[in-house]
A and B are shown apart, each in its own frame.
Chain A
Amino acid sequence: MKVALFVPCYVDQFYPQVAIATLEVLEKQGVTVVYPTRQTCCGQPMANSGFEHLATGCNENFVESFADCDYIVSPSGSCVLHIKDHLHVDGAEEKTASIRQRTYELVEFLTDVLQVKTLTSRFPHRVGLHQSCHGQRGLKLSQMSELVAPPFSKTGQLLGLVEGLELVQLNRADECCGFGGTFCVAEEAVSVKMGKDRVADHQAHGAAFITGNDMSCLMHLDGILRRQNSPTKIVHVAEILNAW
C-alpha cells in the first residue's frame, strides 16, 4: 500500500511538527508513506472566497503531485473535504475523480481503511475535542448534533485508545470555532467572539489541551488562548496519537 502524505500549506509552513507526527503515526502502522515534494495547497483559500476559477494552477499541481499512489492522507478535515467536493481540472476529469475518491483525512484513514484497534500512545491529560465543522459535518468524522441519529465519533474512538487521556464533555459539542478561512479576518469581530466562546467552553470543563483534526481551527483558538495568557494549550490529534 502506497500512501502519499498531503500536508496543507499552512501546516507545512507553521506546524511542521503536526506533519511529522502524521508521517510517524502512519509509519507506526506499517504503512509506506511518500511525500510528493511538489505539493503546495488544496486551493481552498481561493475557492472559499469565490475565486475557484483562480485555483486552476494550484489544482493542476495537486493532480500532478498525487496522481500515482493508492491513498492520499492528510491531517486536515477541511482540506480533504475541499479536495473531495471541489477538486477539478478541465480535461483531467478521470484523474481528479480518482483522486477525490482516494483522499482521506488521517483519522478516518486510521479507523476506516487501516481499521486500527490498538495504539501505543500515551497522553495523560484532560483533553477537549474541538469538532471541526468540515471534518464533522462534511466528512462525517462524527455524528452532528443537528440530526436525530445514533452518535459516533471516529476521532473520539481513537482518542479512547490513548493511554491516560481523559476526554472532557463540552456544553456545545459541535459549535463552529469561527475560523472559516478568510472569514477570520474579513469578519474579525464575529470570528474572534466565536473563538473566545469555544475556548471558554473547554476551559470551563477543565481541559488542559484542546485537540482537533484541523490545525486551522486550532491556530485560531491558539491565537486567542495565547492572547489571554491561558494555560490551556492546543495540540493536533496526530500529535496525541504519536505521543508516548
Chain B
Amino acid sequence: MVSPSHPRQDHATLAEKFNRDEARVDWHDKTLWFIREKRDRAARTLPEWEDLREAASQIKNRVLDNLRDYLLQFEAQAQRNGVTVHWAANAEEHNQIVHRIIQQAGVTNIVKSKSMLTEECHLNDYLQEKGITVVDTDLGERIVQLAGESPSHIVLPCIHWKKEEIGELFHKHLGTPAGNADPKFLTGAAREHLRQRFMTSRVAITGVNFAVAETGEVVVCTNEGNADLGVQLADVHIACMGIEKIIPERKDLGIFLRLLARSATGQPVTTYSSHFRRPRVGQTMHIVLVDNGRSARLQEESFRNALKCIRCGACMNTCPVYRRSGGHSYHYAIAGPIGAILAPALDMKQHADLPFASTLCGSCTHVCPVKINIHEQLYDWRQVLARQGYVGGVKKLGLMGMAAVLARPRIYRWSGALGRWFMKHMPALVNNRLNPWYKQREMPAVPRQSFQEWYRQNRQQHGQQR
C-alpha cells in the first residue's frame, strides 16, 4: 500500500518510465494490437454483432434499474440450491467472510482461480497476513503472483512478461532448467506445479462472470479449466462476485458468452464456461456478494453504467495509451480505460490522475461489448475532479489565464500577436527543456500574421464584415 513518505507516482510518471525502453513498448503495443485485431475478425464473423452489443447493453441496463429485485431473486434461488449466500458491504467485510469460511474448514492452503474482485479487495494480502497461503491457479495470474506483482491486465494478467522472462522466473521458483523459454514446456511445468496444489487444497475460491437470477447459478469462464478443477477437488467452494454480475435469465448467456470471448481474446467462446449451481454431495458452496462502492455508484446518473462492465478487457487492448504505458501505470487493480473510470469512484484523491490518462479518442466506447460510454465518463470525471479541487494548481492557474484571454477578443488578438512575436524573436523562450512539447517535438513555425490579421488586411475592406 502507499505510505505517506513515498507518495505514489502518477500515471504520467509511471508511463514515462515504461517508455524508457522503447523496444519493449513496441512489443507491448504489438502484442495487444494483435488481440484487438483478432477481436475485430471474430466480431466480423457475426453480422449481428452490433445488435448483440445493443441487446447486452439493454439487458445490463435493465439489471441496474432493478438490481435489488434481481439480487433478492438470485439469493433466494441460490439458497434453494443449497448454497450459503453472504453479503459484504465493502472489501474488508468480503475478506473477513472469506477468511471465516476458510477457518471453519480448518485449512491454511487454498487455491483460487482468477477473480478481479478478489484483486480489488486485496484478498491475497489479507489472507497471507492471517497465515493462509493462496495459490492462484490461472497460469498468468500465477506468474505475476510468483513475481510478487499484481496483474497488469484483467484478462491477460502477465501480458507485460516476455516468455524468456517467464522462463527465468520459473527457473528460480519452480526449478525449470535455466534458459528454457519454450511456452509449451513452461506451461507443462506450471501444470505439474499446480497439480499438487489442486490435489491438496480443500478450499477453492473462484470469481464469477455471470450470476443468473432465474436459477441462482454462477458461471465462470476460463481457458484453462482451472476453476473446474479447483472446485471439483475441493470440499468448499467460495464464489466471490460484485453485485453487478447479475443477469436476469439463463438464455441471456447466449448473448453474453458470445460477446465476452470474442471481445476478450477473439475466440468464438471461452474453452470452459463452467456453471456452478449447487454443491455436489459432501461439498459446501458459498457465494459472497460484494458491494464495495457499487450501490453508491448506482445513484450517479453520469457514472452508473460503468457497472455494466463484463470485464472483457477489450477497452484495454484497443487503448493506444494503455498499450504504450502498461497496466501497472494505472496503479489500480483494473487498468486501462475502464479502470480509469472505476478507480476515482473508490478514491478520488488517489486516482485523480487516471481520467487524464487518455486522449478521449473514443475507441474504448466503441469496442465495449456492453456499450459503456467510457470516453464520455472520462470527460465527466475530469469535470468532477477539477471542481472538487483534485487537479493541480499550476494547470488550473494556466487554464484560468487562458480562459480569461479567450473570453476577451481584443486581449486574445493582442496576446496572440505578442506570443508569436516572442516565439519568432526569442525562440529560446519556448524551445527549452522546461517545455514538455519541445523535448521530442519541434514547435510550430511562426507565421508572419494571424488569419485574423490577414483577413482584416485582405477582406474586410471589401465590406465582408460583421
Contacts and interface: CB of A to CB of B under 8 A. Distances in A.
Given A13-B450, A20-B454, A43-B406, A176 B363 contact: yes
A189 B16 contact: yes
B262 to A, nearest CB: 10
B366 interface: yes
Nearest to B33: A172
Interface string A170-184: 001011101111111
Contacts of A40: 405-409, 412
Contacts of B439: 188, 192
Interface stretch (B187-195, B217-225, B232-240, B391-399): B391-399
B321 A54 contact: no
Interface size class of A (residues with CB under 8 A): 35 or more
Contacts of A212: none
B441 A53 contact: no
B406 A183 contact: no
Nearest to B387: A53
Interface string B195-231: 0000000000000000000000000000000000000
Nearest to A39: B409
A240 interface: no
B357 A187 contact: yes
A185 B437 contact: yes
A16 B454 CA distance: 8
B454 A192 contact: no
A227 B442 contact: yes
Interface stretch (A92-100, A119-127, A140-148, A159-167): A140-148
Mostly helix, strand, loop or mixed at chain B's interface?
Answer: helix
Nearest to A187: B12
A11 interface: yes
Interface in B1-60: 11-12, 15-16, 18-19, 22, 25, 29, 33, 40, 43-44, 46-47, 49-50
A50 interface: yes
Interface stretch (B130-138, B142-150, B293-301, B458-466): B458-466
B106 interface: no
A149 B53 CA distance: 13
A56 B440 CA distance: 34
B359 A179 contact: yes
Contacts of A220: 441
A46 interface: yes
A162 B324 CA distance: 36
Interface residues of B, number: 81
A115 interface: no
Nearest to A182: B395
Interface in B428-466: 436-437, 439-447, 449-456, 459-460, 464-466
Interface in A187-235: 187-195, 197, 219-220, 222-224, 226-227
A244 interface: no
Contacts of B25: 193
B409 A61 contact: yes
B440 A188 contact: yes
B383 interface: yes
Contact of A176 (B320, B367, B399): B320
A223 B406 contact: no
A149 B182 CA distance: 40
A9 B406 contact: yes
Given A189-B19, A190-B325, A57 B361 contact: no
Interface string A37-67: 1111101011111111111111011000000
B50 A14 contact: no
Contact of B19 (A19, A54, A190): A190
B441 A227 contact: yes
Contacts of B409: 37-40, 61
Interface string B384-426: 1111000100011001101111111100100010011000000
A153 interface: no
B360 interface: yes
Contacts of A222: 442, 444
Interface centre among B382, B399, B459 (most CB of A within 10 A): B399
B336 to A, nearest CB: 13
B356 interface: yes
Contacts of A41: 406, 412
Nearest to A68: B466
Contacts of A12: 416, 450-452
Interface centre among A20, A35, A146, A226 (most CB of B within 10 A): A146
Interface in A10-38: 11-17, 19-20, 33-38
B279 interface: no
B451 A146 contact: no
A6 B106 CA distance: 72
B272 interface: no
A197 B27 CA distance: 12
Interface centre among A50, A179, A184, A197 (most CB of B within 10 A): A50
B268 interface: no
A189 to B, nearest CB: 4
A79 interface: no
Contacts of A102: none
Contact of A189 (B15, B358, B384, B465): B15
A180 B365 CA distance: 16
Given A37-B466, A57-B403, A195 B447 contact: no
B364 to A, nearest CB: 9
B320 A185 contact: no
B318 interface: yes
A50 B383 contact: yes
Given A51-B403, A61-B409, A186-B436, 14 more contacts: A9-B416, A12-B450, A16-B449, A16-B450, A37-B455, A40-B408, A58-B403, A137-B365, A144-B366, A148-B46, A181-B359, A185-B436, A187-B12, A188-B439
19 contacts: A9-B406, A19-B451, A33-B464, A40-B406, A46-B406, A47-B383, A48-B382, A51-B386, A53-B387, A57-B404, A60-B407, A148-B47, A180-B358, A183-B359, A185-B436, A187-B356, A188-B440, A189-B12, A193-B25
Interface of A: 4, 7, 9, 11-17, 19-20, 33-41, 43, 45-58, 60-61, 133-134, 137-138, 144-149, 172, 174-176, 178-195, 197, 219-220, 222-224, 226-227
